[in-house]
Structures are given as structure tokens and as C-alpha cells.
Amino acid sequence: MDIVVRASFAFLFIFLVTRLIGRRELSSLQPFDLILLIVMGDLIQQGVTQSDYSFTGLVLATGTFALLTVGASYLVFRFQRLRPVFEGEPLILVQDGKLVAKNLRRERMTAEEVAAEARLQQIATLDDVRWAVLESNGQISFIPK
């Protein structure tokens, strides 16, 4: 039972950390970030199982994570009001060619990052953009004028 409680706490902790990190950072992982996530996963495993290498510990920890993941997705499916909490909401970064500074600060993004993403989608300047939306998966959608 101790492993189930620890796995539940670890699940909630990982959820909170990923929400605090932000969508943009998670969508563009650098090699160091990937290594950091792998190390963090190992540290979480040690905290959850307390060096319990038994098959039972493996099944309990993995099963708890699986059940909590399925439970969270069911809650999001069943209760629409929970979607912004679990999945986030799209965020407008550019409106009629003008950057929305408040939303850029909220996501810790610079105007140069938005302009670089626009260039990758064959948009020369932000003046040519009606809307730029940071989607909940971290990608930026551009709607030209």
C-alpha cells in the first residue's frame, strides 16, 4: 500500500511540475532537458519504490500510474470544466499583427521566438499574421491575414 501512496504522490508531483514548466518548453526539448527528464524519472522511481526491485513493486507502481493516467483522461472527457486544468487552453500570442505582451510573459516567450516560428511556417513578418495561437501541445498556429 505504501508504494501506491508514493506512486500517487509522484503522479501528482509530475503533473504539477509539467504544468509549471509550461507548454513551450516541453514542446522543444533540448538534449540537456531530455537527460534531465530521464534522471528525474529515475529519482522518482527510487522515491516511489524505495529500492523495492520486486515484481510486485513494479506492478503496483506502474499500475497506479496507469490507473491515475486513465482516470485523469476520463475526468477530462467527462467533465469539460476540468480540461483547462489538465490540458491547458490555447493562448493568443499575436492579434492583428501585434504581439500580446501579457500572454508572452505568461509563457516566458520572446518576440524573437514567435517570429522564428512564423518564419518556419513561411511567414515573413508578424504584420502578415491575423492570429498566432499557442496550442495546448506547445505548437504555434499562425492564421495569416
Give 84-119 pLDDT, tens digit per residue: 888 778 999 999 999 999 999 988 899 999 999 999
Question: Within this chain, do residues 77 and 99 fall inside the same structural domain, yes or no?
Answer: no
For residue 28, the model assigns a pLDDT of 60
Residue 81 C-alpha cell reads as: 470544466
For residue 86, the model assigns a pLDDT of 82
Question: Within this chain, do residues 119 and 137 fall inside the same structural domain, yes or no?
Answer: yes
Average pLDDT over residues 12-30: 71
Question: Within this chain, do residues 81 and 15 fall inside the same structural domain, yes or no?
Answer: yes
Question: Within this chain, do residues 25 and 11 fall inside the same structural domain, yes or no?
Answer: yes
CA distance 57 to 31: 31
Question: Within this chain, do residues 55 and 31 fall inside the same structural domain, yes or no?
Answer: yes
The residue among 51 and 129 whose pLDDT is bigger is: 129
Residue 143 C-alpha cell reads as: 492564421
Residue 10 C-alpha cell reads as: 509522484
For CA atoms 66, 71, 76, 81, give the dihedral sign: negative
The residue among 15 and 116 whose pLDDT is bigger is: 116
Q: Residues 3, 64: contact at Cβ < 8 Å?
A: yes
Quote the number of domains for the chain: 2
Question: Within this chain, do residues 110 and 83 fall inside the same structural domain, yes or no?
Answer: no
Q: Which residues pair with 144 in a beta bridge?
A: 129
Tens-place pLDDT, residues 27-81: 666 666 667 777 778 877 877 877 777 778 778 888 888 888 888 889 989 998 9
Q: Minimal CA–CA distance to 95: which of 42, 134, 136, 48?
A: 134
Question: Within this chain, do residues 71 and 105 fall inside the same structural domain, yes or no?
Answer: no
Q: Residues 90, 133: contact at Cβ < 8 Å?
A: yes
The residue among 83 and 58 whose pLDDT is bigger is: 83
